[in-house]
Amino acid sequence: MENISRLTQEWITLLGPNHLVQAFGIIVVFLILAKLTSALLTSMLSRIVKQTTTDFDDRLVSMVHRPVFVTVAIIGMTLATYRLDISPALQSVTLSILKTILILTWLVLGLRVSRLLLEIFSRSTTRFTFVQPSTAPLLNNLMFVIVLIAGAYSILVAWDINVTGLVASAGIVGLALSFAAQDTLANLFAGVAILADRPYKIGDYINLNSGERGEVTHIGLRSTRILTRDDVEVAIPNGVMGSAMIINETAGRSEKYRIRVAVGVAYGSDIDLVMNTLQAEAENHQKICDLPAPRVRFRRFGDSSLDFELLCWIEKPEYRGLLTHELNCSIYKAFNEKGISIPFPQRDLHIKEIPIGVRPQQPTD
């Protein structure tokens, strides 16, 4: 800034020997220059962004207008400060105030641009999958903290404050907090990893190796909530979710889910009749999907039965229990009507009789 002041010193002397008049002239000139620069830059950028189909660049141009004006005006005020005949201490304070105003102006712009970017990214569900309704508040707060820290550091430097001690103190405090809140931090980092890796999302139907099963209703920084079939919401810490084996029943190529109905029939049964009956019961059920089509498989020769399995698809995993129940009922009734026997395990007990007059042998030690 001092170099710019020396370059402008020649034409500044045309305003006269009075330093106050020179400073006022510099401010007026740079205010006019700021207005022209802002208008010219806005006009040029507006012509360019009109050729695009998105409104992102249009809104960005409208945001840049004020910071450009303030920056050029602050440069003029800084040059005017160098022309004033004031004490070094007062000059230093004035320059620090001007730098603070400039930093705050661009700080506000940074916050507005970050919010605009998150809004634009959230509209794209294919390219920026990390930005979603559940992660937008997290990212918004994270960007706010980053911009705020950068702005605070810049303001401290503008006032010639030594930040080395503050940084060291912040590191010690952060280390103490990390030991005091290990579980909270573990859940926090696990939540960020879940939001980034996306093993599941809101609306998915998941099973955990610990036995919980239900629909994901919320993914937060500390916990994930699932709604079970009993209409009970369970909050599971993200640290547990990060280390658990998760079966996502909705994350396949479609939300359809395949159910398996196992049934055994007696030896000697007509297996063609059994397979046709099972196939017909699945095809006649209104809630069983036509595509993929139901199918029957003869699985094994059991100890007491011939074991078959009916494989069919349903629209959503949460219908599994109800439709399995309905299919079991209809299959049992159909087997009774067609005389197909469903056996139950049997055991034959043979009693060996001891002849009369024969004493049982006594055990010897």
What percent of the chain is helix, strand and coil (3-state, nearest 5)? 55, 15, 30
Per DSSP (E only), the strands in the chain are 205-208, 213-219, 223-228, 233-237, 246-248, 257-265, 295-301, 306-314
Give me the pLDDT at residue 105, please: 94
Handedness of CA 129, 135, 139, 140 (dihedral sign): positive
Name the token pair of 257. Answer: 């889910």
Options 3.90.1260.10, 3.30.70.100, 3.90.1170.50, 3.20.20.140; CATH for 257-337 is 3.30.70.100
Mean pLDDT to the nearest integer, 150-157: 88
- The gap from C-alpha 333 to its chain's centroid, in whole angstroms, comes to 48
Mean pLDDT to the nearest integer, 260-278: 95
365 pLDDT higher than 60: no
Direct distance between the N- and C-terminal alpha carbons of the chain, in angstroms, rounded to an integer: 111
Residues forming CATH 3.30.70.100 domain(s) in the chain: 257-337
- Are 78 and 98 within 8 A, CB to CB? yes
Q: What is the pLDDT of residues 275-333, one digit of tens each?
A: 999 999 999 999 999 999 999 999 999 988 999 999 999 998 888 899 999 999 999 99
Q: What is the pLDDT of residues 176-194, one digit of tens each?
A: 766 666 777 788 788 878 8
In 3D space, the residue among 118, 23, 31 whose CA is nearest the CA of residue 79 turns out to be: 23
Give me the pLDDT at residue 94, please: 92
Residues forming CATH 2.30.30.60 domain(s) in the chain: 162-252
324, 326, 327 from 315: Cα distances, Å:
13, 15, 15
Output the average pLDDT for the chain: 83
Phi and psi of 87, rounded to 5°?
-70, 155
Give me the pLDDT at residue 300, please: 94
Name the token pair of 240. Answer: 């547990």
343 pLDDT higher than 80: yes
3, 257, 267 from 252: Cα distances, Å:
65, 9, 38
Q: What is the pLDDT of residues 48-68, one digit of tens each?
A: 877 777 777 788 888 888 999
Give me the pLDDT at residue 8, please: 58
Long-range contacts at 61-65 (CB < 8 A, ≥ 24 apart): 63/109, 63/112, 63/113, 63/116, 64/109, 65/38, 65/41
**Fold of domain 162-252:** SH3 type barrels. (2.30.30)
In 3D space, the residue among 344, 337, 330 whose CA is nearest the CA of residue 302 turns out to be: 344
